């Protein structure tokens, strides 16, 4: 599934799903927010791993790896 990184200001950003699954998150964006980056991922864990690499934050580690590695398809989201 496609994910989007939105930048609101120098300190504000939102990383969310594209499409209907991200509507509520995008609804909280400040006016003037800009779409900065997108990626495709099959799970939350994969998306966050790519996001951490993009941001230069090192390795993403999950407190709930079994849950976070479930594919979106297995959750019925595709």
What's the CA gap between 60 and 53, in Å, rounded?
8
Domain map of the chain by residue range? 2-68
Beta strands in the chain (DSSP E): 2-7, 13-17, 34-40
Helix, strand, coil abundance in the chain, percent, nearest 5: 30, 25, 45
pLDDT bracket for residue 73 (50, 70, 90): very high
Average pLDDT, the chain: 95
Q: Say if residue 78's pLDDT is above 80.
A: no
For 8-42, how does the pLDDT look when each residue is reduced to its tens digit (9 = 90+)?
988 899 999 999 999 999 999 999 999 999 999 99
Q: Flag whether the pTM goes above 0.85.
A: yes
């Amino acid at each position: 599934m496609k994910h989007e990184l939105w930048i609101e200001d120098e300190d504000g950003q939102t990383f969310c799903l594209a499409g209907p699954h991200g509507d509520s998150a995008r609804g909280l964006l400040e006016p003037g927010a800009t779409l900065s980056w997108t990626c495709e991922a099959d799970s939350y864990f994969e998306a966050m791993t790519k996001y951490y690499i993009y941001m230069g934050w090192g390795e993403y580690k999950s407190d709930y790896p079994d849950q976070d590695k479930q594919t979106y398809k297995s959750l019925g989201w595709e």
